[in-house]
Amino acid sequence: MNILVINGSPKGEYSITLQTALYLKNRHPEHTFEVIHAGHRIKALEKDFSPALEAMEKADLLLFAYPVYTFIAPCQLHRFIELMKEHSAPVAGKYMSQISTSKHFYDVTAHRYVQDNAQDMGMKTLRGLSADMDDLLTENGQQEAELFLSHVLWCMEQGYSEPVLTQTAPTQPKAVEVPVQNAEDGNEGKPGDVVIVADLLPEDTQLAGMIERFRQVMPRKTRMINLQEYPFKGGCLGCFNCATDGKCIYQDGFDDFLRNQVQSGEAIVYAFTIRDHSMGARFKMYDDRQFCNGHRTVTVGMPVGYLVSGNYRLESNLQTILEGRAQVGQNPLAGIATDEDNPNAAIDQMAATLQRMLETRYHQPKNFLGVGGMKIFRDLIYQMQGMMKADHRFYKQHGEYDFPQKNKGLILKMYLVGALLSSKKIKAKMGNKMNEGMIGPYRKVVEAARKE
C-alpha cells in the first residue's frame, strides 16, 4: 500500500501531528509511506507543484495530517488544496483520510472542511482520527492510532467510503442594487466606525456590489480593509513567539495593524466569496495570524456581521464556523447577508440590526458553541499559564476560570439531596416539594418583575 502523508503543518518535520503518521510508518513497514511537507513548503509548491502531483499519482491512500488552527486547518493547507484543484490533481477515485491534533476545539469543522474538498475532487473519503496533542505519548493513544489505520485499510479492502454530504450545484447570484444617495444623505461624519474586512479579488464584482450597498445603507461611518492588499509575509507558524508579549515573529506589522485598524472599530463586517467550502486561504491566513492575541477574546461585545457571496445555504459546515466564530469571540451576530435570494433586503436587514445592536449594546448569551469552546480554552490556558502569560492574566481578569468543581457549597448540597432521594420513605413524603423548592427562587424573580 502506497500511503502519501500530506503534512499541512507549517512546522514541517517538527509537527506534532506528523509524529502520529511516522509512528504508524514505523509500526507498519509492510506499507510505503511518503511525506509531502505541504504546509512548510507551500511557497515552493506554488512555484512548482509537479513533485506533489507525481507523489499523488503513485499513492493509493492520501493521509492529510495537520493541527487544527482557528476552526479549520492551517491556511497553508488551505492553499495546498487550492493548488490541488487548480492543477487538477490526479486523485479522483483514490482514498483519503486524515489525522488532526488539537485540544478538540472545533476539530469537527476542520475534518468536514478537508472531507468536503476531497469529495469535490472525486476522492473516496474515510473518517479520520482526531487526537489530543498528547495522545501519542500514551499507550491508549498509540492503540487508537493503530486501530484507526487498521480500520481505514479494512474499509479500502471492502470498497467502503463516506457518503457525499455537500452538493454545491452553482446557482445564479441575485443582482445587488446600490442606492444613489445625495451628499447630505451619506454616512460620513456620523458617530461610530464599522470596519469592513474583505477578501476581495478583482473578479468578485458581486461581492463588491454587496459591500457598496452595505456602505450606502449603514447609518454609521464605514471603512474598508481588503486583505488582498495587505503585505502578509506568511501564515501563522504556530511558533508561540507571541505567547508572552503578543508580538508576532513576522516583521510585517500585522499585530499592530490588527489592533489599531481592525479591533479599534465599534463593529466588524466580514465580506467574502465562498471558496472551497470556506472563506478562502487568504481569509484563513488573516484568521490564523490573529493568534498574536492568543486565546484572548479581546473584542468581547463588538457586534459582527457577514456579507457572503455564494451558495451559503448548502454549506452547513461553514454555517457552523461562522456561528462558532461569533460565539467564542462573544460577538453579537447581526446577521449573515447572502446573494442567494434577495440580497438587497438581506443587506438592509443586517445593517439595521447592526445599527440597533450598537445603539442598545445588545449582547447575545453564549450557546453550546460558545460555552463549549471557551471551556476548552479555559482548561488549556490554566494548564499552560506559565507560558501563556498574557492569556492567563486576561482569563483571571475576566472571570473565565469558572471551574464548577470548585463550588463546594453546591457539591455538598447535592450530596444532601442525593441522600434524601436514596430513601424511599423520605422520597414518598417529599412528593412534589422538590420541584417546588427548585422553582421557588425563579418565581420570586418573576413576581419581582411584576411589582416593578
Q: How confident is the model at residue 168 (pLDDT cuts 50, 70, 90)?
A: low
| Max Cα–Cα distance, the chain, nearest Å | 80
CA-closest candidate to residue 31, choices 66, 65, 4: 4
CA quadruple 438, 444, 445, 450: dihedral, nearest 10: 140
CA quadruple 315, 319, 320, 324: dihedral, nearest 10: 150
Consecutive H or E run containing 109: helix 107-120
Consecutive H or E run containing 360: helix 343-360
Return the CA Rg of the chain.
Answer: 25
pLDDT score at 364: 76
Could you report how far apart the first and last alpha carbons of the chain are, in Å? 74
**pLDDT tens track for 94-108:** 999 999 999 999 999
pLDDT score at 258: 93
Q: Are 116 and 109 in contact (CB under 8 A)?
A: no
What CA–CA distance (Å, rounded) separates 58 from 446?
69
Inform me whether the pLDDT recorded for 432 exceeds 90. no
Alpha helices, H only, 71-106:
75-86
User: DSSP assignment of 96-143, as one string?
Assistant: EEEEEEESSSSHHHHHHHHHHHHHHTTPEE---EEEETTGGGSHHHHH
What CA–CA distance (Å, rounded) separates 31 from 35?
13
Helix 205-217 to helix 343-360 angle (10° resolution) is 40
Instruction: Name residue 58's amino acid.
Output: K
Cell numbers standing for residue 229: 492588499
**pLDDT tens track for 386-409:** 888 888 888 888 888 888 777 788
What CA–CA distance (Å, rounded) separates 293 from 286?
12
Q: How confident is the model at residue 187 (pLDDT cuts 50, 70, 90)?
A: low
What CA–CA distance (Å, rounded) separates 252 from 130?
33
Inform me whether the pLDDT recorded for 290 exceeds 70. yes
* Other C-beta atoms lying within 10 Å of the C-beta of residue 112: 21
pLDDT score at 75: 97
Lowest mean pLDDT among 153-162, 165-174, 356-365, 389-398: 165-174
What CA–CA distance (Å, rounded) separates 64 from 387?
29
Q: How confident is the model at residue 170 (pLDDT cuts 50, 70, 90)?
A: low
Residue with cell 492510532: 145
**What is the pTM (predicted TM-score) of this model?**
0.83
Q: Say which residues have a Cβ less than 8 Å from residue 5's Cβ, sequence separation at least 6.
A: 18, 21, 33, 34, 35, 36, 63, 65
Alpha carbons within 13 A on the beta-carbon side of 296: 24
**pLDDT tens track for 105-144:** 999 999 999 999 999 999 999 999 999 989 999 999 999 9
Q: Say which residues have a Cβ less than 8 Å from residue 258's Cβ, sequence separation at least 6.
A: 289, 290, 292, 293
Cell numbers standing for residue 152: 481505514
Burial of 431 (0-12, 13-18, 19+ CB in 10 A): exposed
pLDDT score at 166: 66
What share of the chain in percent tops pLDDT 90?
Answer: 64
pLDDT score at 184: 41
pLDDT score at 159: 92
pLDDT score at 192: 55
**pLDDT tens track for 349-392:** 999 999 989 998 887 778 888 888 888 888 888 888 888 888 88
Mean pLDDT of the chain: 90
pLDDT score at 185: 45
Q: How confident is the model at residue 450 (pLDDT cuts 50, 70, 90)?
A: confident
| Strands of 42-94, DSSP E | 61-67
Helix 368-383 to helix 316-329 angle (10° resolution) is 60
CA distances from 21 to 57, 99, 118, 274 (A): 20, 8, 19, 31
Q: How confident is the model at residue 451 (pLDDT cuts 50, 70, 90)?
A: low
**pLDDT tens track for 201-216:** 999 999 999 999 999 9
What the chain holds in terms of domains, given with CATH numbers, is: 2-158 (3.40.50.360), 183-368 (3.40.50.360), 407-451 (no CATH)
Inform me whether the pLDDT recorded for 414 exceeds 70. yes
CA-closest candidate to residue 138, choices 5, 23, 3: 23
Cell numbers standing for residue 439: 422553582
Inform me whether the pLDDT recorded for 338 exceeds 80. yes
What CA–CA distance (Å, rounded) separates 405 from 387?
24
Three-class SS string for 403-427? Answer: CHHHCHHHHHHHHHHHHHHCCHHHH
Cell numbers standing for residue 107: 476539530
CA distances from 106 to 93, 109, 323, 431 (A): 28, 6, 12, 44
